[in-house]
Amino acid sequence: EPEVPSFIASKVSQYSCQRKTTLNNHNKKFTDAFEIMAENYEFKENEIFCLEFLRAASVLKFLPFPVTRMKDIQGLPCMGDRARDVIEEIIEEGESSRAKEVLNDERYKSFKQFTSVFGVGVKTSEKWYRMGLRTLEEVKADKTLKLSKMQKAGFLYYEDLVSCVSKAEADAVSLIVKNTVCTFLPDALVTITGGFRRGKKIGHDIDFLITNPGPREDDELLHKGLLLYCDIIESTFVKEQLPSRKVDAMDNFQKCFAILKLYQPRVNNSSYNTSKNFDMAEVKDWKAIRVDLVITPFEQYAYALLGWTGSRQFGRDLRRYAAHEKKMILDNHALYDRRERIFLKAGSEEEIFTHLGLDYVEPWERNA
Ligand code: CTP
Ligand code: MN
Ligand code: MN
Ligand code: MN
């Protein structure tokens, strides 16, 4: 007799690192609403309510069936009153009036536009909003604003950067990055991380991890050209320092938030006939693409790979699990056991899960 897998809500872990979450989301209409609510709280810098909705969204992404009755979420972790209210309304009315209100909210709409520019975060958006600015057109027209180098690039390549990166573009860029890195470091390992490693078909950028087996990394690599725009952040990692305990820790790797010029063959060649056709010469044959390049020392590679593969929620829960269940501190560089007072070495992601006493979760099951 075939075994029927029964779903037991009370056995679902509150930590997404103990769940397998693929991209097959059966509850998109709920999780979309939750993510709008969470983003609005992020814009208001209310981290508690923001995380509450992100955790609830993450649990529903894991459910192997679509929720149709309130009974379906009975016993599930991370379902607070605010999340339940949204679910109840979507079940009854087909949509959430709260999420709809957020989408129509003036402040939310402005922040959404502002933060869509590379280099603009919540802090800058807040500043612009307080100055009375509401749209990107108004920001661009305001000549008193002092934009950072990053934001200037963000406006310059805006149209390209808001259009998502496809898997095909990610593969093309991957070849370019690998070839370029290998001319400088023939033994280097170049790995795509982020959403593409989790199996996503589109992304807002392409994330790369670069490491050189051997005693030390090449800290000159990022200075050797290849990029349209590049904001190099030098490594600030100090040996023996304890991992960071912050929820969303920035790591200390040398990294580069870059914009790469990807040449693309023109789709329509039919009117391409004479060299005197100046109009054709002006057709842009490239696309600006956001690329994150992270250089890691070889012995930290597994930790960096786990951290940069995400999802962001999966990473948050890994660190929360390590801290609360294991008395360990995890970040993108290392894992520290506070009871034993030792750093735990790892050569692979599997080893990190083992150190934490967790079953291994494949990258494509980390879409929490
Ligand atoms: N990350 C990190 N440290 C940073 C920036 C990002 O550890 N300073 C991690 C994030 O936690 C995330 C992963 O790197 O899990 C990739 O980040 P990001 O590119 O923002 O997200 P993706 O999951 O790749 O999604 P997208 O398609 O939007 O790029
Ligand atoms: Mn399924
Ligand atoms: Mn990414
Ligand atoms: Mn990124």
Ligand 4 centroid, distance to 167 Cα (angstroms): 15
Q: What is the pLDDT of residues 300-309, one digit of tens each?
A: 999 999 999 9
Say which residue the tokens 């661009």 belong to: 140
Rg, Å, the chain Cα set = 23
- What pLDDT is stored for residue 281 in this prediction? 62
- Four-residue CA torsion sign, 176, 178, 179, 184: positive
Residues 16, 313: Cα–Cα separation, whole Å: 7
- Under CATH, which architecture does the 313-365 domain have? 2-Layer Sandwich (3.30)
Q: Domain 165-299 in CATH: superfamily?
A: Beta Polymerase, domain 2 (3.30.460.10)
User: Is the ipTM, as predicted for this complex, more than 0.90?
Assistant: yes
Task: Return the bridge partners of 191, or none.
Answer: 209
Return all residues near 161 (Cβ < 8 A) that are at least 6 apart: 118, 154, 259, 288, 289, 290
The segment(s) of the chain belonging to CATH 1.10.150.20 are: 106-156
Residue nearest to atom 4 of ligand 1 (CA): 250
Between CA 233 and CA 248 the distance in angstroms is 18
Residue 206 CA to ligand 4 center (angstroms) comes to: 6
Q: Pocket of ligand 1, candidates 23, 164, 174, 207: which has the most ligand atoms within 8 Å of its Cβ, to mutate?
A: 207
Fold of 106-156: DNA polymerase; domain 1 (1.10.150)
207 is catalytic: yes
| 9-102: in CATH 1.10.150.110 | yes
Is residue 314 scored above 90 in pLDDT? yes
DSSP bridge pairs for 192: 208
Q: CA 3 to CA 306: how far, in whole Å? A: 33
Q: How far apart are CA 62 and CA 43, in angstroms?
A: 26
Instruction: Give, in order, the Cα–Cα distances in Å from 60 to each of 3, 10, 65, 317, 367.
Output: 24, 14, 9, 15, 12
Q: Which residue has the higher pLDDT, 240 or 31?
A: 31
- The segment(s) of the chain belonging to CATH 3.30.210.10 are 313-365
The ranges of the chain annotated as CATH 1.10.150.110 are 9-102
Residue 269 pLDDT greater than 60, yes or no: no
